[in-house]
Every structure is written in structure tokens, then in C-alpha cells.
Structure 1
Amino acid sequence: MPVADSVTVRNTIAYAVDVATEAAADRPVELHVVDVASTRAVDPDAPEELAAASDLLTRVEAWVDEDTGGEQPSNFSLVTEVLGADQYLFSPGDYADVLLSYADEQDIDRIVLDSEYSPGGAGPMLRPLTIELARGDVAIEEAPVERRTERTVLTRAASLPKYLAVFAASYLFYMLLSSWKPIDVFTGFLTATLVAVLLAPVAFSDQPSFARVGKQTVRMAIYTPYLFKEIAVANLQIAYVVLHPDLPIDPEMVELEAAVWGDTAVTTLANSITLTPGTLTVSVTDRAFAIHSLTAGSRADLFDGGLERAVRFVFYGREAAAIATPRERGDDGGHSDG
């Protein structure tokens, strides 16, 4: 059973334990619970990614203990493991390959899926993952569990790092817009406190790391001049097209499967593409970008992956630059006339 920190993972574990312990009445049963640590290979500066996977599996062990009353049946055993820590996993097919390979090695005959399974911070990928897993000789089952209420999710989401991060960002923004008078310092404090209380529970999908944010801020300062350069070059290219007597435009909608994840990284790439003349991000679903391109040159630049690689540098460090570009990954986009 693959797990991620979803709102239904606890109930899914309970279901899997019920099925496994019932089967253990007739034969030995091993319940394998794995966390696919997909971001580890491209984010070596963030050991918290691997630590989060280990922490989740520790909670799984406690849940299994709780569900079996602290006394596991003699024929039942639990195995937990972190998979994919040394690989770059991007598509549902990549996740399926890791899971099917593990299932084959461990002689597993059934995979139970959480209905809200979303590894790597991506949106739920249950349907495409189920399709990819069908390639293997293993039964696939979605756990029949219900989603918890959003109220529970929001309550659990609040934490001191989130409050501090939202407070600091709000206070800094307020002071940048103020005249730095004593009254501004006081009202800014009150405003930032109110914003933190109201928005901290929903402001982040993951726990913020101040050390990591500091590194990303420095790398963003390096990225900004690069983005301005790309905008300037694209402006010259579009100016040439506009001033050319034949107006050599070739508008098309293309699809880009970007090797970035997480709300901030995806938003940064989407806005960077839009800010660069000749390309416009129309919509984003998980890591799939629908982009309107004005010329063949702008499409070529897009799939050469310069902006994508630069955004990966900002959020995941220099090692992420080694990941293949969209063109090298075989993604030349799904084209349609614009």
C-alpha cells in the first residue's frame, strides 16, 4: 500500500489492516506500507523530505498497533519502506514502475490505494496511477473510505512555523508600504498578527522551513536578472515579428508537462512564462501547463527548458539542473491551432 500525507490515509490504513488481519486467519500475510519519496532525487538540500516520509511511516506503525489492539495476529506482519529516494519520479507511469517493481520483488498480490493519494505534493493522481498499475500482474483496489471534513484538515494544518512565516511576510509587506512611523510599526504588528491567525492554517500545503526559504530567497535573487534577460530577448523577438512586413506569426496552443511541483514553484514558472512575450500560460492542472505560443521560436525556447530549469534551481538547488529538459524527456507538447 503506497501512502502520502492525505486526509484519508488514516482510514485507508485501518481498512488495509482489517483486510490483512482477516486474511491472516487462514495464511501468513505481510502488509507492506511504502512511502514514495519522489522529490528526494531533485532536492538533495532538503533532508526534511526524507524525514517526512520516515515520520509518516512511524505514524503508520502506531496506527497499525492501535488497530490491532497492540497484539498483532501471529500470521500478520507489517513492513514499512521508503521507495524512490534515489530516483527522479515525474509521471504516474514513473510511480507505477517503482510500485510494480517493489511488488514483484516482494511477491505482493494486491495493491490498496488511498483515494486521495498524491505523492510529491502533486494533485490526486489516483486515476492515471491506477491505469498505469494495470500493466502489472497484481490486483488493484481503492480503499472504500470517506474523506474527512475540511474543518479537521484546517485544524491540523496550523503550526508555529506557519504562524511565524505568515506573520513575518505580512509584517514585512505592510512595512514596505508604510512610512516607518511608530504608529506604522504598531499597526503593522496588529495587522500581521490578525493575518497570521486567519490565514496560517491554510497558507501552506507543507510545513515551511526557514533555512530552506533562506536558500530559495538567495537563488531567487540570482534568478530575477535571468528572467529579466529572457523577457528582454523575447521582447526583441516579438518586436521583429510585429515590424516584419509578412508578420510571421504561427500561433498554437501547446501542453507542457513541467518537472516542478509545489504551489510556489508551479506558480513561479507559470507567471514567468506569461511575463515572457510570445508565450502565455492559459491554465495549469497539477504539473500540466496549457500555454499559448505566438511563434515557432517561442515554442522552441519553451521546450528547450531554460525557464523550467531556472525555476528548479530556485526551489531545488543546482543538482536539479541535471534533470532532462522537456525536449529531452520527449515532451514536444500537444499542439493545436490557435
Structure 2
Amino acid sequence: MGGDDHTRILVPVGESSTLRNAVAYAVRVAQDDATERGVSATVHFVYPAAWRAVEPTRAAKFEQAQEVLERVEVWADEDAESDGAPVEVETAVVGADEYLFSPGDFARVLESYARDHGLDRVVVDPEYQPGGNAPMLRPLEFELRQRGLDVEEAPVERPTRRSRLVGRESLSQYVTVFGVSFLFYLTLGGWSIELFELVTGAISAGIVTAVLSKIALKGPPQFTRIPGQLGRFAIYVVYLLWEIAKANVAIAYVVLHPKLPINPSLERFEAAVWGDLPATTLANSITLTPGTLTVDVSDREFVIHALTDDSRSDLFDGGLERAVRFVFYGRQAARIPSPRERNEEVSET
């Protein structure tokens, strides 16, 4: 484990209810193995960045990650104070400059760190959720094993999950979905304020809220960002209409050309957008632009049907992708390299 002359273990960490016990288990395993073989031991606690490089709150999230690692280091030092072999502790934040979505993305940066530091064994926290939304432990384990790493789950007791129907964090989500649904109902009814319309509208909005609140919004709405996004969206609509007009002219030329110069193909690229609404906006914008059609979207991987060489070239130039990032994430996000430039960077590495 970790070489003949040293015990080295990698532990991905993040906020979880079983993190403390997972840290203790990893330290104990490293210490027992080092004592048995008469070698030294090092445990690497690594925090994969689940935030994006252009998020407005990235600085605060980085500080939170550092706080978690500092807490983990204190725990590990406490657990290592025994008659066994000494255990060194290393901590790091990885993937802060990348776009981590799927378990494969997290496994890739963890594997890279493991290879750079000579690690081949991984201990995972059973409650570890790298994306922060849905448990991804099993697929993450699978991805790590596919990369040749020895992976085991820390045998810690998982707490019983009890959740309230409406908590403080989700109250704003319920209120927002209810308000939007109620206003939409009144709009369809011609803004009637009769008692029957108000009651049936409230009932309908309540049903929609109960069923779809967690789907419609992934987290509490950030009202302070909405005005800026709406203003940028107005600019985006003008840009999108211009792109649609240009594409219509280009496709009309192709259709009227005697030789019909088309070259259809399916193209795949990983879009630098995250979140359901930005991804949906980009997918629909691509479809609305003649010459390209969004066939499938999985995580951030887009499958696009391109009719001509020019439409394919425009797709990888990333104009629409850059504009969508501008709408949802601001001017800084628009500077991210295009799909073509990102592919070139990967090829060079």
C-alpha cells in the first residue's frame, strides 16, 4: 500500500455528517499499516472544488474549503497521537480552475493528484457528495477503480436522515415557486380578482409548489442577481436574433445553391456552463439557430447535429456559449476559452 517504504492514503473530503469518523478511520488504517511494516505514513486529505472558476461566491467557497481542511488536519493530528507509527498529514484543494460536474470529472482530478504524489489507495467517506446535490459515491468509486486506484469505503455508521417538509433554507424556494405559479394562474385568467379565481389559483399554486419546488429551483433564489441577469438577457436576445438572421441567410444560400454544399455530422463538445437553466438556454439557442440542432445533453456534454462546415465552425467558436455565460455569470465568465480553444489545450497536454 503506497509503496514498500511508505504508507500513503488519499482521502477526498467535503462537508458531511460522517467526515469526522472517516478521518479517524483513514488515520488508523495508515498508522496500523505503517506500524506493521515498520515504515512511515502520510495521509493526504484533498478537497475537490465543487464551485466554478467564475462564480461570484468562489472566494467564500474557497475559504470554506480551507476551513474544512484545517478542521480535518486538527482531527487527524489528534487521532495520530498514540503509540503507533507517526502519521504526516497533507491537505490540498484540487480542481479549482476546472469545471467539475460528473463523477468522472472528480475522479480525474483525484487521480491526477494521486499520480503526482505516488498514491494508490483511496479511503472515501460514505456520505461524501462531491457535487453537493445528489449522492455520487458509487459512481465515484467506480470511476476511481477504473483508473487503477484501490478504493475502500470507511466503515462508519451513517446517521438516520430526518428532514422537515419545509426548512429555513427551502422556505424561500417554496414562496418563490408559489408566487410565480399564482401570478401565472391569474395571468391566464385575465387577472380576475374574484374569490373563486383567487381560491382556485392558490390551490393550483400550492399543488405546483409541493410537487415541483425542488425541481424548479435547485437552491434558494438569489434575488440580488436577478436584475443584472435580466438586463444581460435583454442584450442576449438581440444577439441571438442577429445570429439567427445570419444563419438563415447562410442556410438559404446552401438550399439555393445548385450543388447543395452540405456536410452533416454529429458533434460532441463539453460546454462551460453549469446549472439546468443555463444549459437549457444554450441547448435551445443552438436549436433555434438554423444549421445546428441539439440532439442530446448529458451533464455538460452536448451532442449537436451540424448541417454545414460553417455551422460546425461557428459552434466550436463558442459565440452562443460565451453569450449564455455572460447572461448568467457576468462579463468575467465570457472570457473562458471557446470549445475549440479548450480542445486545443487538451490536445497539447
TM-score (structure 1 length as normaliser): 0.73
Residue number in structure 1 paired with 2:144: 130
2 CA distance for matches of 1:15 and 1:156? Answer: 30
* Structure 1 residues 87-236: aligned runs within 5 Å: 87-89=97-99, 96-97=108-109, 100-101=112-113, 104=116, 110-113=121-124, 118-119=130-131, 126=140, 130=144, 134=148, 139-143=149-153, 159-183=170-194, 184-236=197-249
CA deviation string 1:21-64 (max 9, x = no partner): 24435657665443322534222366564466468x38985xx9
The residue type equivalent to 1:126 in the other structure is L
1 CA distance for matches of 2:29 and 2:162? Answer: 30
CA deviation string 1:48-86 (max 9, x = no partner): 64466468x38985xx97xx9xx745157877654444x
Residue number in structure 2 paired with 1:336: none
Aligned partners of 2:294 and 2:303 also within 8 Å? yes
Secondary structure of 2:342 counterpart: coil
* Partner residue of 2:261 out of 248, 253, 258: 248
The residue type equivalent to 2:56 in the other structure is P
Secondary structure of 2:341 counterpart: coil
The residue type equivalent to 1:21 in the other structure is R
The residue type equivalent to 2:153 in the other structure is A
**Identical aligned residues as a percent:** 42
Aligned partners of 1:122 and 1:261 also within 8 Å? no
* Structure 1 residues 1-338: aligned runs within 5 Å: 1-3=11-13, 10=17, 14-15=21-22, 17-25=24-32, 27=35, 31-44=43-56, 49-50=61-62, 53=65, 57=68, 72=79, 74-75=81-82, 82-85=93-96, 87-89=97-99, 96-97=108-109, 100-101=112-113, 104=116, 110-113=121-124, 118-119=130-131, 126=140, 130=144, 134=148, 139-143=149-153, 159-183=170-194, 184-330=197-343
1 CA distance for matches of 2:317 and 2:112? Answer: 32
Runs of 4+ in 1 over 6 A off after TM superposition: 76-79, 120-123, 151-158
2 CA distance for matches of 1:100 and 1:165? Answer: 42
Change in CA separation of 1:80 and 1:220 when aligned onto 2, cut-off 3 Å? farther
Cα root mean square deviation, aligned: 4.3
Aligned partners of 1:293 and 1:299 also within 8 Å? yes
Query: Structure 1: 5+ residue runs without aligned partners?
Result: 333-338
Larger radius of gyration: 2
Change in CA separation of 1:213 and 1:81 when aligned onto 2, cut-off 3 Å? farther
Secondary structure of 1:329 counterpart: helix
Aligned partners of 1:53 and 1:82 also within 8 Å? yes
- Pairs aligned (count): 316
